[in-house]
Amino acid sequence: MSNVDNLIARLDRVRRTKPGHWAARCPSHDDRGPSLFVRELDDGRLLVHCFAGCSVEEVLSSVGLTFEALFPEREITLGKPERMPFPAIDILRAISFEALVVAAAGAALLAGKPFSEVDRERLILAVERIQSAITAGGLSHE
Which of 32, 35, 39, 33 minimizes the C-alpha distance to 16?
39
Over residues 60-102, the pLDDT tens digits come to: 999 999 999 999 887 766 766 555 566 677 778 878 888 999 9
d(CA 76, CA 59): 29
Comparing 86 with 3, the larger pLDDT belongs to: 3
Handedness of CA 104, 105, 108, 110 (dihedral sign): negative
d(C-alpha 93, C-alpha 99), whole Å: 10
Locate all alpha helices (DSSP H) within the chain, ordered by sequence.
Answer: 3-8, 56-62, 88-110, 117-136
